[in-house]
Amino acid sequence: MEILTPNEMRDADARANELGFSQWQLMRAAGQAVAREALQRFPRAEKIAVLCGPGNNGGDGYVAASVLRESGMAVEIWQSGETRTGSDAAKALIEWNDAIKALADFEADASTLVIDALYGAGLTRPLSGHDAQAIERVRATGAPVLAVDLPSGVSGLTGQVLGDALQADCTVTFFRRKPGHLLYPGRALCGELVVANIGVPAAVLTSVKPMLWQNLPKLWTNSLPQPVATAHKYQRGHVGVLSGRLSATGAARLCAEAAARAGAGAVTVLSPPAAIAVLATHLTATMLHKIEAPDDVVGFIRERKVASLVCGPGFGMQDEQTTIIEALLHQEDAVLVLDADAITILAKDPAAFFTARKSGMPALVLTPHEGEFARLFPDLAGDKALSKVDRARQAAKRASAVVIYKGADTVIAASDGRAAINSNGTVWLATAGSGDVLAGLVAALTAQEMPLFEAACAAVWVHAEAGRNEGFGMTSEDLPQAARRVLAELISR
């Protein structure tokens, strides 16, 4: 599950060297892994062109070329820049002991498999000159591409394209994924991703101490709430959901149903007087309570032992809603899940919000999409040097919250630096009301005393898996039941 930044991967390699696994051994294993995937995945390639850069990524390419030649393949190496004398890449080049062609003269056709070993995850500058021209030629031919570590031109740290980059059919990386493999647009450019074991021992992670993970169930299943035979409904967690006005109750109802389907023992929709009648005609298992002032909300939380409260879906952004948000930020009895309109309200005076959050109470989860994130954290959203992970981490620290930074590559970040990148997202979630369901899932899991970071990660994964299972034609109304099925399977394992 661990995701390593390029710098952390270098540290892991260095630590492996200290443990007796030389860089030369690792390079040979990496090149062999690349050759193996080339032979298995592209058996019809008439010839293979290996594009090699001057560093270790090029060294992996030289080793792969040698192995492929020994396997009987027609292989050519096209070199970009001289290898450093005495380096492992230079040693791999000596083992090749055959013709080397200049990348400036590179030509290929659709029958050629191109192995991109120019630059790996550590690239920090845009491709230019012969490197960029070679990428244009590969693209023009439509030749299949096998990338070594990461398609050249993609930042391993941010997933952003530095000038230009190849679209790979398959990418072979080593030991652990890098952020650029899971963050868009790099994620799309990798094609199928293979993580090869090249002999780096997992023990190196003890000293590297990564704080970023791929969001998979094994990251949080040990924290999932388990049913207890003797528990009554309030011990299973009471979730409150604040509704908007008469014409905007649907979002709160979606959120409430999701919370109930995700195991909350009791769910109450808190409604302004004008919306009570319409809500009453739609709610059955969900309870309903009228609120008219901020004190009503805070009082209800305390008296009815509300464990988690969702505010934002369809809530509205007038002065009366603003005063309720301000009151909620000063109560300490319930976990707050703030979404949609609530985040936009906070963005009216972010300085006051961040000042209020210095105490770290109440426990808080923010669920912004890209636009809401930009309104609340405009400086972070506008800093293109930051990866999505870094933006989410800094936002979480500033707000003393867990932040679910939504999107195709949703990032979940905690204020202590922990973060996870979700990888099972689906286009089917791009539908109205989907975010309301996610907020309800978060609230249900936190109400059942699941730690905030783990609950946010679980909710995001379950939400995405539910969307994938439902597929084409799904609406947000289908999601609560679909999420229930996903959670039921997880809990029964």
Q: Name the helix (H) or strand (E) containing 116.
A: strand 112-117
Spatial contact of 148 and 64, defined as CB atoms under 8 Å apart: yes
Residue range(s) occupied by CATH 3.40.1190.20 in the chain: 217-492
Q: What is the pLDDT of residues 332-376, one digit of tens each?
A: 999 999 999 999 999 999 999 999 999 999 999 999 999 999 999
Q: What is the pLDDT of residues 268-281, one digit of tens each?
A: 999 999 999 999 99
Looking at residue 207, the DSSP 8-state letter turns out to be H
The answer to whether residue 132 scores a pLDDT higher than 90 is: yes
pLDDT at 440: 98
Residue range(s) occupied by CATH 3.40.50.10260 in the chain: 6-209
**Is 432 exposed, middle or buried (CB count within 10 Å of its CB: 0-12, 13-18, 19+)?**
exposed
Q: Name the helix (H) or strand (E) containing 268.
A: strand 266-271
Q: What is the pLDDT of residues 188-227, one digit of tens each?
A: 999 999 999 999 999 999 999 999 999 999 999 999 998 8
Residue corresponding to tokens 């924290």? 223
Please tell me the number of Cα atoms within 13 Å of 80 on its side-chain side. Answer: 27
pLDDT at 197: 96
* HEC profile of 117-179: ECCCCCCCCCCCHHHHHHHHHHHHHCCCEEEECCCCCECCCCCCECCCCCCCCEEEEECCECH
pLDDT at 449: 96
Angstrom distance (rounded) from CA 396 to CA 399: 5
Angstrom distance (rounded) from CA 150 to CA 122: 9
Alpha helices in 292-340 (DSSP H): 294-303, 319-328
Q: Name the helix (H) or strand (E) containing 413.
A: strand 411-413
Angle among Cα 85, 197, 94 to the nearest 5 degrees reads: 25
* Distance separating the N- and C-terminal Cα atoms of the chain: 20
- Please name which of 324, 340, 235 lies closest in space to residue 271, comparing C-alpha atoms: 324
CATH number of 6-209: 3.40.50.10260
Residue 179's CB is within 10 A of a number of other CB atoms, namely 27
Average pLDDT of every residue of the chain:
96
Angstrom distance (rounded) from CA 193 to CA 102: 29
CATH topology of domain 217-492: UDP-N-acetylmuramoyl-L-alanine:D-glutamate ligase (3.40.1190)
**Is 24 exposed, middle or buried (CB count within 10 Å of its CB: 0-12, 13-18, 19+)?**
middle
Residue 233: band (very low, low, confident or very high) from pLDDT cuts 50, 70, 90: confident
Q: What is the pLDDT of residues 312-324, one digit of tens each?
A: 999 999 999 999 9
Mean pLDDT in residue range 246-255? 93
Q: What is the pLDDT of residues 399-456, one digit of tens each?
A: 999 999 999 999 999 999 999 999 999 999 999 999 999 999 999 999 999 999 999 9
Instruction: Decide: helix, strand or coil at residue 265.
Output: coil
Angstrom distance (rounded) from CA 183 to CA 200: 24
The answer to whether residue 231 scores a pLDDT higher than 80 is: no
